[in-house]
Amino acid sequence: MSFANHSSLNDHIKMVMIHLKGLLIFCIFSFAHSKSVLLDDLENEIQKDLMKHVHYTIPEPDEIADVTYGSRGAPSVHTWWKHSNRSLLKQTTHYYSSLTVMKSSKCSYFCTNGFAGGYFGIQERVKDKVVIFSLWDNHNKAEAVYSGAGVQVSHFGGEGTGVKTILKHEWSNFTTNHFLLEAKPADKKTVYTAWFYRYDLNAWFKMASIQNTMKNNNPYVYGFYSFVEDYSGSGEQRVSINGPTWMKSSAGWVQSNKIDSSSTDRTAKNKRIFQMGQYAGMATGGPDYPNPDISSHNLEGGDFPCILAKVPGIEIDDENLIRKCK
């Protein structure tokens, strides 16, 4: 489904297009309510641990020639999905988010469903585009227990060790992509399953399931984040619109209503995190924008993403949501 086909988002698309033409995006948005990032002890521990990984992709062999880390590349920017009532996100078993890439370049990683222990998203590599889902080793080695048709499974190193799964898929700019991460505890481990909606199949595609024992023996999903990464150091502009983001926890289905943000280089000018209704936007690279906005934002609420009702075996468990999606 094309992002541009959503009539309720047309005005937002126009604003983003203005941004891509080089106008200063801070003129569109208000910064009056920006505030510093505040993390409780657990979130601070998670962020310190994840920051070792969220911005560091190991290039494929045929991408080495394009890596220019010696120059000043675009900083990675990260959105941390939260809720004003943190207790509502306890014992999360399902983690949904969507992504629309507005501008990309080779050696880009648009992570949608980052979490403590792994991440899930799409990449534009030198010669192709892919969907990628990875899980790091922890107390034990991560193990792929399922992979869908055409999915490549391998072990990785260099940014920690673990298992990565890759599906070659020619995703397009201005098209909304949907992602769901599902966690199921099993025999003192957790099986994490990545679902990606494929328009060519008009159905959710079960990409892979990877199991491991996670940090702190927490069998649930936590530490929710997204990011945009320039892993070649080219400095070219990359822009994405992320969300809405929903989690199914012990409280039922809950939509993220606030974001915090971070960056690998807080002094760089060519980065921005912004809010558009229930969506969060990220931009990095390209021309230097003054007064970069790396701060917290409140998000507006929205309708439950009924596309989730199409996931095989999913339990919505909310009669009101079920009726809305019929």
Distance CA 31, CA 297 (A): 9
pTM confidence score: 0.82
Which residues are within 8 A (CB) of 68 and not within 5 positions of it... i.e. 6 or more apart? 232, 233, 234
Identity of the amino acid at 222 = Y
- From first to last of the 326 residues of the chain, give the pLDDT tens digit: 444 444 445 455 444 444 444 333 333 233 323 333 333 555 555 555 555 555 456 556 555 445 554 445 688 999 999 999 999 999 999 999 999 999 999 999 999 999 999 999 999 999 999 999 999 998 789 999 999 999 999 998 876 799 999 999 999 999 999 999 999 987 788 999 999 999 999 999 999 999 998 766 788 999 999 999 998 888 899 999 999 999 999 999 999 999 999 998 877 778 889 999 999 999 998 888 776 677 899 999 999 999 999 999 998 988 888 888 97
Secondary structure (3-state) at 173: coil
320 membership: H or E segment, kind and range? helix 319-324
The β-bridge partners of 251 are none
Distance CA 322, CA 304 (A): 10
